[in-house]
Amino acid sequence: MNMYVAEDPEQIKTIERHILQEQKHHPEAKGILTDLLYDIALAGKVIASKTTRAGLAEILGQTGDVNIQGEVVQKLDRFADMTIYRLNDHTGRLAALGSEEHEGLLHIPDKYPTGKYVLLYDPLDGSNNIDFNIPVGTIFSIYQRVTKSGPGTLLDALQSGRNIVASGYIIYGSSTMLVYTTGKGVHGFTLDPSVGEFLLSHPNIRIPETPVYFSVNLGYRKYWSEGVIRYTDYLQGVDGQIPSLSLRYVGSLVADFHRNLLAGGVFYYPADKKDPHKPHGKLRLLYEAAPLAFLAEQAGGYASDGFGSIMDIQPDDLHQRTPLFIGNSPLVEKAEELIAHHDR
Ligand code: FBP
Q: What is the pLDDT of residues 103-128, one digit of tens each?
A: 999 999 999 999 999 999 999 999 88
**Burial of 110 from C-beta contacts in 10 A (0-12 / 13-18 / 19+):** exposed
Closest ligand 1 atom to residue 69 Cα is 4
Q: State the distance from the centre of ligand 1 to the C-alpha of 127, rounded, in angstroms.
A: 8
Q: State the distance from the centre of ligand 1 to the C-alpha of 305, rounded, in angstroms.
A: 17
- What residue owns the CA closest to ligand 1's atom 13? 251
Residue 207 φ then ψ, to 5°: -65, 125
pLDDT tens string 141-200: 999 999 999 999 999 999 999 999 999 999 999 999 999 999 999 999 999 999 999 999
Q: What is the number of alpha carbons within 13 Å of residue 235 lying toward its C-beta?
A: 30
Residues 6+ apart with CB under 8 A from 268: 214, 215, 216, 228, 231, 323, 324, 325, 326, 335
d(CA 192, CA 43): 15
d(CA 172, CA 306): 29
Q: State the distance from the centre of ligand 1 to the C-alpha of 129, rounded, in angstroms.
A: 9
Pocket test for ligand 1, best of 120, 124, 128 (most atoms within 8 A of CB): 128
* 3-state secondary structure (DSSP) of residue 187: strand
Pocket test for ligand 1, best of 282, 287, 292 (most atoms within 8 A of CB): 282
Closest ligand 1 atom to residue 125 Cα is 3
Residues near ligand 1 (Cβ within 6 A) = 71, 100, 122, 125-128, 217, 251-253, 269, 282
Nearest partner of 150 among 184, 194, 116, judged by Cα: 116
Closest ligand 1 atom to residue 100 Cα is 3
- CA dihedral angle for residue 225, residue 228, residue 229, residue 232, rounded to 10 degrees: -170
123 within 8 A of 84, measured Cβ to Cβ: yes
d(CA 17, CA 338): 45
pLDDT of residue 279: 87
- What residue owns the CA closest to ligand 1's atom 3? 125
pLDDT tens string 259-315: 999 999 999 999 999 988 888 899 999 999 999 999 999 999 999 999 999 999 999
Q: State the distance from the centre of ligand 1 to the C-alpha of 194, rounded, in angstroms.
A: 32
High-pLDDT (> 90) share of the chain, %: 80
- Res. 1: pLDDT tops 50: no
Averaged over 316-325, what is the pLDDT?
97
Closest ligand 1 atom to residue 269 Cα is 12
Weakest-pLDDT range from 130-134, 135-139, 291-295, 305-309: 130-134
Q: State the distance from the centre of ligand 1 to the C-alpha of 253, rounded, in angstroms.
A: 6
127 within 8 A of 76, measured Cβ to Cβ: yes
pLDDT of residue 10: 63
- What residue owns the CA closest to ligand 1's atom 18? 251
Q: Render the burial of 36-69: b for 16+ CB within 10 Å, e for the rest.
A: bbbbbbbbbbebbebbeebeeeebeebeeeebeb
DSSP state of 14: B
Order of strands, sheet of 302-304, starting from the edge strand that comes earlier in the sequence: 246-247, 213-215, 265-269, 324-327, 302-304
Q: State the distance from the centre of ligand 1 to the C-alpha of 189, rounded, in angstroms.
A: 24
Closest ligand 1 atom to residue 255 Cα is 10
Where do runs of H (alpha helix) occur along the chain? 15-23, 32-51, 75-86, 154-157, 226-235, 253-263, 290-298, 329-342
Q: In which element (H, E) is residue 124 found?
A: strand 117-125
